Chain A
Amino acid sequence: DGGITQSPKYLFRKEGQNVTLSCEQNLNHDAMYWYRQDPGQGLRLIYYSQIVNDFQKGDIAEGYSVSREKKESFPLTVTSAQKNPTAFYLCASSPTWGQLGGTGELFFGEGSRLTVL
């Protein structure tokens, strides 16, 4: 089945530790995205990648880092510099960046819940 796989589904971290969330897609999509969901705040964009070997900061990139070395993979590292990392993290992809030439739909993974102890 084609889709987006995020792992782990649940992750606990001690303060001061970096953690990396995995996101893999087999949809052959060029663009990939990381969002964060907090209660009452909707989904906020952390980083996005229009194409392999390229990525851009979103609206809340501070304390996060990403890489896009392969088309199918877009891992997110939550660093110790992120002041409030406890959240639900969502990875998404789309055939192309933006809504041009398509429905504009992003395809989401199942999410990863990170809790800082």
Chain B
Amino acid sequence: DQQVKQNSPSLSVQEGRISILNCDYTNSMFDYFLWYKKYPAEGPTFLISISSIKDKNEDGRFTVFLNKSAKHLSLHIVPSQPGDSAVYFCAAWGNTGKLIFGQGTTLQVKP
């Protein structure tokens, strides 16, 4: 049972444009969400997080939006750069104390 879903396995955008990565969750007890970036053969690195009491959090080029009623969050990267090409994972904390990850979306930013 996949509680955190990233339904787009891949996304390709042009450099300078906006990248939008989506994530859906099924468990209404999730109350804290994170986005990680991962390069091949490396560990994930933390990008940005959002609490369920907020609907938006911004850090430089990265903005995360949370729609609790739809159980949906998205990561916006503006402007996209070739160095942003990586796999992006969304993850959620719930009352079980486990951080649950989605399947990941591979982003390719073309020069």
A binds B: yes
Residues of A within 8 A of B (CB): 4, 6, 33, 35, 40-45, 48, 50, 58-59, 88, 90, 92, 97-99, 103-111, 113
**B43 near A42: Cβ-Cβ < 8 Å:** no
Decide: A42 and B103 in contact? CB cutoff 8 A.
Answer: yes
How many A-B residue pairs lie within 8 Å, measured between CB atoms?
Answer: 60
Task: State the CA gap A42–B9 with chains docked (Å).
Answer: 11
The smallest C-beta distance from B104 to any residue of chain A, in angstroms, reads 5
Q: What is the size category of the interface that chain B forms with chain A?
A: 20 to 34
17 A–B pairs (Cβ distance < 8 Å), ordered by A: A4-B43, A33-B99, A40-B103, A42-B101, A43-B91, A45-B99, A50-B97, A88-B41, A97-B97, A103-B49, A104-B93, A104-B99, A105-B46, A108-B45, A109-B43, A111-B42, A113-B41
Cβ–Cβ contact A104 & B49, under 8 A: yes
- Taking CB atoms, residues of chain B closer than 8 Å to A88 are 41
Q: Using a CB–CB distance below 8 Å, which chain B residues touch chain A?
A: 4, 6, 9, 31-32, 34, 41-46, 49, 89, 91, 93, 97-104
Whether B43 contacts A111 by the Cβ 8 Å rule is: yes
Contact B98 A99 (CB under 8 A): no
- Known interface pairs A40-B9, A104-B34, A104-B93; A110-B43 also in contact (CB < 8 Å): yes
> Which chain B residue shows the least CB distance to A91?
B43
11 additional contacts (CB under 8 A) given A48-B98, A104-B49: A40-B103, A42-B6, A42-B101, A58-B98, A92-B43, A97-B97, A98-B93, A98-B97, A99-B93, A108-B43, A109-B43
A43 to chain B: which residues have CB within 8 Å?
44, 89, 91, 101
Q: Is the CB of A42 within 8 A of B102?
A: yes
Contacts of A99 in B (CB 8 A): 31-32, 93
**What are the 4 closest A-B residue pairs judged by CB atoms, nearest first?**
A108-B43, A43-B101, A42-B103, A99-B93
A9, chain B: closest CB distance, angstroms: 8
